[in-house]
Amino acid sequence: MADILIMSSSATKKQIDNVIKKVKNLGFNVHISKGAEKTIIGIIGDTRGISDETFKILPGVAEVISILKEYKLASREFHPADTLIKVGNVEIGRNTLTIIAGPCSVESKAQLLKTAEFIKRCGGKILRGGAFKPRTSPYSFSGLGFEGLKILKDVKEQTGLAVITEVLSPEDVDGTMEVADILQIGARNMFNYRLLQKVGQVDKPVLLKRAFSATINEFLNCAEYILKEGNRKVILCERGIRSFDSTFTRNTLDLSAVAVLKKETHLPVFVDPSHGTGRRDLVIPMSKASIAAGADGLMIEVHPKPEEALSDGFQSLSLEMFARLMKDIFPVVKVIGKKL
Ligand code: PEP
Ligand code: MN
């Protein structure tokens, strides 16, 4: 099994091209990382039937490496450099800390516009807002649907903010893509393989939230489903997992997941401390901790009147609290060597 070919530092361009040609002739695609000294050629596809010798004999090949993990495109071995995702002029990953903020649900134009303008003024870069809401109870508010998308579109045009919204099913993807700059796959749908495949086939960044009880391996394999279809713009989001004590917090925010994901994968890693804790008073401290642990961004629920929110009011920050969060995280972002 040959997955990664490390070319020797003295390999010529002709030798590198020859190896790439050989890989392509075998029916595979390549991912090329050009380092200062060496070129690394990643082989995309199922390489189980390909022996190391196929490439070891080619001039210029220094090493042939197999990836024994189930996920390959998501792995750091395959793609050593951090992935950078651009959404308009907003950068996600590498040395930027990106703030996504907004209400849990889009409720009205006035609510979304007020929130969006405030977020923008404070330095938030991407507006969130659910139009299709997956709710625990079928009797709870389930979002404004297409009307919510229309509001997102209007507010996006008025403020210039990029927007992210959740898709619940493969049929929603095409319509949602016309408005959304990033598609969100919620925790409840992390294992929805048809949906993962569908968003893998479109040219739009995807934020994939970790399911309530998904292992890191399952999380990365679900990202791999998207990557395998061709979409390489995947953002991972830790949003709290189920643990034994939900007396004080809604979920257990797993910050070790952030540190381990930053090692295992090149994909940007976000944290949602709103769902992660379920309490607005814990959002600021856990935001600081997330940035310190290496997160590339935060997703924060904000509402102009949290006590009147149609969903997740208890964990939503008021506008004033959001302004405080932006002030409070600044020194942490700076000390970690990133820019907001
Ligand atoms: C949300 O972001 O509003 C949401 C439903 O989150 P999760 O899928 O993490 O529960
Ligand atoms: Mn919510």
Residues 33 and 162 in one domain: no
pLDDT in tens, 238-275: 999 999 988 999 999 999 999 999 999 999 999 999 99
Rounded CA separation 82/221 (Å): 18
B/e letters for 282-321, b = 16+ CB within 10 Å, e = fewer, are bbbebbbbbbbbbbbbbbbbbbbebeebbbbbebbbbbeb
User: How many domains, in total, are found in the chain?
Assistant: 2
- For the entire predicted model, the pTM comes to 0.94
Residues 103 and 250 in one domain: yes
Tell me whether residue 175 is in a domain. yes
Residues 159 and 60 both lie in one domain: no
Same domain, 106 and 238: yes
* 200 three-state secondary structure: helix
User: Considering 65, 100, 118, which residue would you say is the last residue of a domain?
Assistant: 65
Q: How far is the CA of 335 from the centre of ligand 2 (A)?
A: 30
Residue 78 in domain? no
* Mean pLDDT, the chain, integer: 96
- Same structural domain for residues 155 and 20? no
Q: Are 230 and 221 in contact (CB under 8 A)?
A: no
Residue range 208-227, pLDDT digits in tens:
999 999 999 999 999 999 99
User: What is the domain-level CATH number for residue 132?
Assistant: 3.20.20.70
**Per-residue model confidence as pLDDT tens digits over 136-164:** 999 999 999 999 999 999 999 999 999 99
Measure 207 CA to ligand 2 centroid, in angstroms: 15
Pair (248, 101) in one structural domain: yes
So what's the pLDDT on residue 290? Answer: 98
Look up residue 27 and give its DSSP letter: T
In a domain, 70, yes or no: no
What is the reported pLDDT for 252?
97
What is the pLDDT, as a whole number, of residue 45?
Answer: 87
Q: Which amino acid would we find at residue 42?
A: G
SS3 209: strand
User: Residue 289: what pLDDT?
Assistant: 98
For position 193, what pLDDT does the model report?
Answer: 98
Report the 10 Å Cβ neighbour count for 123.
14
Are residues 292 and 198 located together in one domain of the fold?
yes
Residues with CB under 6 A from ligand 1: 104, 130, 134, 186-188, 209, 239, 272, 275
Rounded Cα distance, 329 and 43, in Å: 40
Residue 72 lies in a domain: no
- On whether residue 184 sits in a domain, the answer given is yes
Closest residue by Cα to atom 5, ligand 1, is: 186
| Same structural domain, 187 and 310 | yes
Last residue of a domain, one of 17, 32, 65: 65
Residue-range definition of the domain harbouring residue 8: 4-65
**Which residues, 6 or more positions from 57, have their beta carbon under 8 angstroms from its beta carbon?**
none
Say if residue 57 is in the same domain as residue 139: no
219 is written with which tokens? 């999380």
What pLDDT, on a 0 to 100 scale, did the predictor assign at position 67? 85
pLDDT at 283: 98
57, 153: one domain: no
pLDDT of residue 27: 94
Q: Is residue 74 part of a domain?
A: no
> How far is ligand 1, taken at its centre, from the CA of residue 186, in Å?
5
Please check whether residues 53 and 131 belong to one and the same domain. Answer: no
Residues 211 and 311 in one domain: yes
Atom nearest to 275 CA in ligand 1: 9
Low-confidence ranges of the chain (pLDDT < 50): none
